[in-house]
Amino acid sequence: MTIRLHLSAIVLILSLISLIKAKQNDPGQFLVGAGIYDITGQVAEIGFMGYAVPKQRGHGLLQRMRSRAFIIGDVNKEENRVVYVSADNGMAFQIIKTEVV
């Protein structure tokens, strides 16, 4: 499933590059970057977001959670920039969007 997600992100990025190039009369060079970061929170005594008995608590770590970011920018124009960010969490609260954007 993770490979599919990465392939989808790559296809999205390549599509965005072609859209940016199509709008320009003089297509130039682009800066492309990618990043990944571990966003795993606490791993003991956590609740299950309403999917279990309220008294039941999680313990241990099955798999780390990651956040990935891809950025494409025009070398000549700083304002021509596209950023795609994805996170492996079950839900994203408004504070996450506020901090990222």
pLDDT tens digits, one per residue of 34-82: 999 998 888 777 777 766 777 777 788 888 888 899 998 888 888 888 8
Using DSSP, state whether 21 is helix, strand or coil.
helix
Q: Which residue ranges make up each domain of the chain?
A: 2-100
| Per-residue model confidence as pLDDT tens digits over 9-47 | 777 777 777 766 656 566 668 889 999 999 888 877 777
Q: Is the distance from CB of 95 to CB of 14 less than 8 angstroms?
A: no
Looking up tokens 């770590």 gives 61
Q: Copy the structure tokens of residue 73.
A: 């920018």
